[in-house]
């Protein structure tokens, strides 16, 4: 597959001793995919190396990206497009009445000069024909558009996290580690799907646990096997997951995507105070809340070795009120 190599790889695998001690076990390590480099980093960089390479191979000169007002994908795509000489059109949606604060990721989008179209999306991820309308505008201007999948969750995006699995396998061998589990947040499902293909097609050996930040477990148990099976076919892989292979939890979503919960606010504060590492309210904060909750419930044993995949997204912190992060109230 074509690949546009812009990420800073491999990302560090760091021991989180103070956090492990604060929780009374298990042993926790951070896989720091918030440090992938471009546009302040995050898990989307790995995906975009393959997605943007496909766009270039198809002759596109303009990327069309959709996401929420504080989309990490939009911010990182805008930054990587600058490096690759591509134009970018951001289509950012939210439910009626949702504030469009010129802070966090949206501020960075504007600093980079990205073209932004705002739309109301009901339900949240239904962009209707807005992407095609923007594509028509791009064509009328004499350019060639490439519409990116939501969350970068197609086969190319999954490839990024199959390679991440191989990268971790090398790091584990170098550090004589045999992790029992990897924990990651699930949004659109592309990162989790890629990691699940990595588990089933390598000897990595850990159990993959996903913490939903928006969608129900039932929805994900249906959608992820379908998407991963398609990805496996496109990528020439033998094995793909079925629902019974997936360990997914939706108890930590709260009121919905992007809404801070008391548990995620606690997780953000705990990790900042224990490790000096910042999580975001939308993805990694809820994923860490899930990890902590599963430890306290006994679902994750205190004698396990757990890798937490930090997917980035820290700029969104600055779009939340200080009071909500410090007390756990909604923003």
**Long-range CB contact pairs, 241-248, < 8 A, 24+:** 241/196, 241/197, 241/200, 245/196, 245/200, 246/196, 246/208, 246/210, 246/220, 246/221, 247/207, 247/208, 247/209, 247/210, 248/186, 248/192, 248/209, 248/210, 248/211, 248/212, 248/217, 248/220, 248/221, 248/224
The yes-or-no answer on residue 71 being catalytic is yes
Residue 64 makes CB contacts below 8 A (sequence gap 6+) with 88, 89, 91, 131, 134, 135, 138, 145, 146, 147, 148
Q: Which of 33, 47, 40, 101 is nearest to 75 (CA)?
A: 40
3-class secondary-structure state, position 28: strand
Per the residue annotation, which of 71, 153, 188, 193 is the catalytic one?
Answer: 71
Neighbours of 13 (CB within 10 A): 19
Q: How many CA atoms lie within 13 A of 168 on its CB side?
A: 30
- Among candidates 97, 91, 94, which has minimal Cα distance to 121? 94
Determine phi and psi for 221, rounding to 5 degrees. -65, -25
Active site residues: 71
């Amino acid at each position: 597959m074509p690949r546009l190599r812009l990420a800073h790889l491999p990302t560090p695998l760091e021991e989180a001793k103070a956090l492990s001690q604060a929780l009374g076990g298990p042993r926790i390590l951070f896989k720091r995919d918030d440090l992938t480099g471009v546009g302040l980093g995050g898990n989307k960089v790995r995906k975009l190396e393959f997605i943007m390479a496909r766009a270039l191979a198809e002759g596109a000169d303009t990327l069309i990206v959709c996401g929420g007002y504080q989309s990490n994908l939009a911010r990182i795509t805008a930054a990587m497009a600058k490096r690759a000489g591509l134009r970018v059109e951001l289509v950012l949606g939210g439910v009626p009445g949702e504030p469009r604060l010129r802070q966090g990721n949206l501020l960075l989008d504007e600093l980079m000069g990205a073209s932004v179209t705002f739309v109301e999306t009901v339900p949240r991820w239904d962009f209707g024909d807005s992407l095609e309308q923007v594509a028509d505008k791009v064509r009328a201007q004499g350019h060639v558009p490439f519409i990116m999948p939501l969350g970068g969750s197609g086969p190319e995006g999954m490839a990024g996290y199959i390679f991440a699995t191989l990268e971790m396998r090398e790091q584990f061998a170098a550090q004589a580690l045999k992790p029992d589990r990897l924990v990651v947040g699930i949004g659109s499902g592309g990162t989790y799907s890629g990691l699940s293909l990595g588990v089933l097609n390598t000897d990595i050996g850990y159990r993959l646990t996903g913490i939903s930040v928006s969608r129900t477990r039932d929805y994900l148990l249906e959608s992820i096997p379908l998407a991963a099976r398609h990805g496996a076919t496109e990528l020439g892989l033998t094995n793909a997951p079925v629902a019974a292979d997936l360990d997914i939890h939706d108890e930590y979503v709260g009121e919905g995507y992007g809404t801070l919960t008391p548990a995620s606010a606690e997780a953000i504060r705990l990790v900042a105070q224990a490790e000096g590492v910042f999580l975001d309210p939308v993805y990694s904060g809820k994923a860490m809340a899930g990890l902590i909750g599963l430890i306290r419930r006994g679902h994750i044993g205190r004698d396990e070795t757990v890798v937490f995949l930090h997917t980035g997204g820290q700029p969104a912190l600055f779009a939340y009120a200080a009071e909500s992060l410090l007390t756990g109230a909604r923003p």
